[in-house]
Structure 1
Amino acid sequence: MGDTRGFAKNGSKEAQRGLWRLLLKLPSIRGRLQIIAARSSHLNELFEAYEEANVALARFQRERDREDCPLIEEYEALCAEIENDVLRFVLDDKGSM
């Protein structure tokens, strides 16, 4: 995963890492998501947001107990929302290819 194949050239490193995370998390749409990411930068902001949310979530989980940190639940929900947004986008885009 160290190269940029399957990723629009104008994406940031954070967006690329977010895409990689989503490819692992959503295997049922992996192929479609790679195609969409390669041809368009439309989802780059979502990829970046997903990367940032996952990094923050991992930090909260390492540093705090779930009971002491309501941000853990909030960031889990945020990651799930982004996953759903990407899934919806990919399924809606299916007819355009």
Structure 2
Amino acid sequence: MSDTLGMAKNGSKTAQRGLWRLMLKLPAIRKRLQHIAAQSTHLNGMFEAYEEAYVALQEFQRDRDRTDCPLIAEYEALCSEIESDVLSIVLDDKIPPPM
């Protein structure tokens, strides 16, 4: 385990930020998600995708009116889908929960 709050050593900074955002968004699975991230890199792609989608969404929301930017709804849906996928993966994972 690395010293970066539960990321496996070869996780990128983008993946780390995505993990942190997901841990805030999904507090019910925060410890389990951190444990899985520390043990394996198989979710790093999803963490990175979440970070990139979340940052883009924030920029769209800050710079544009919701009615003028259909990308806001699209990126909200994308973030929700990634959250759902991560939740499903974590809850179905065979790694025992942390103690």
* TM-score (normalizing by structure 2): 0.92
The percentage of counterpart residues that share the same residue type is 74
User: Partners in 1 of 2:18 and 2:85 — Cα distance?
Assistant: 13
4+ residue segments displaced more than 4 Å:
none
Structure 1: distance between partners of 2:40 and 2:19: 13
Quote how far apart the aligned CAs of 1:96 are: 3.8
Q: Equivalents in 1 of 2:95, 2:36: separation in Å?
A: 11
Runs of 5+ unmatched residues, structure 1: none
Matched, 1:47 2:19: no
Superposition deviation, residue 49 in structure 1:
0.2
2:4 is the alignment partner of 1:22: no
Specify the code of the residue in structure 1 equivalent to 2:69. Answer: C
Q: Secondary structure at the match of 1:29?
A: helix
Change (3 A) 1:15 1:24: same
Q: How many residues get paired? A: 94
Q: When the two structures are superposed, what TM-score results if normalisation uses the length of structure 1?
A: 0.94
The Cα of 1:77 is off from its aligned counterpart by 0.2
After the TM superposition, which residues 51-90 of structure 1 pair with which residues of structure 2 at under 5 Å, given as runs?
51-90=51-90
Aligned-residue Cα RMSD (Å) equals 0.9
- For the residue of structure 1 that corresponds to 2:8, the secondary structure is coil
Determine the C-alpha separation between the residues in 1 that align with 2:68 and 2:90.
36
